[in-house]
């Protein structure tokens, strides 16, 4: 399996979720299963079946997070010496040429992308158009709504 790029913040969030699932959710579900067993007949016990189903989801997510973290290549954007080039972990301020709107994005791994927080996946069309460019360059993004052209105003690593 290939390495999955993650920022240090993204890795911390995954570790926190894993910790919560293992030490809060798992014991809570085990307790719910034990209580449901005490009610008797397991064939017609909806609480038991619901708890078992929930246990399956939690255990699956735990395995998924452990696999991602074990295959992660954790990159600290603050230690990258690539400025003024745009690479993984960069925070980029863009100005759309057709409008005067300015947007700021950080290029992160697929698992930590959240457009509402300005975090875009390294495999997104915008990130692919930006990587390798420098401040002052023009980036042409092939968006579903058509071609968009952005000017790279600033590149920083924070």
pLDDT digits (tens, 9 = 90+) for 65-100: 999 999 999 888 778 776 778 889 889 999 888 877
d(CA 63, CA 69): 10
Q: Which domains does the chain have, with CATH numbers?
A: 4-74 (1.10.287.180), 77-156 (3.10.50.30)
pLDDT at 1 over 70: no
pLDDT digits (tens, 9 = 90+) for 105-152: 999 998 889 989 999 999 899 999 999 998 888 888 887 888 888 899
d(CA 151, CA 108): 20
């Amino acid at each position: 399996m290939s390495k999955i790029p993650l920022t240090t913040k993204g890795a911390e969030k995954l570790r926190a979720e894993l910790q919560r699932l293992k030490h809060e959710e798992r014991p809570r579900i085990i307790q719910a299963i034990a209580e449901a067993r005490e009610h008797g007949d397991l064939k017609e016990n909806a609480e038991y079946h619901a708890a078992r189903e929930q246990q399956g989801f939690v255990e699956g997510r735990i395995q998924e997070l452990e696999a991602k973290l074990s295959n992660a290549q954790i990159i600290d954007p603050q230690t990258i010496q690539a400025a003024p080039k745009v690479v993984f972990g960069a925070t980029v301020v863009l100005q759309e040429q057709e409008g005067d709107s300015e947007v700021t994005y950080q290029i992160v791994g697929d698992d930590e992308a959240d457009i509402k927080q300005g975090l875009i996946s390294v495999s997104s069309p915008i990130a692919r158009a930006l990587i390798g460019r420098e401040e002052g360059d023009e980036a042409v993004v092939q968006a579903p709504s058509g071609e968009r052209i952005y000017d790279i105003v600033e590149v920083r690593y924070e």
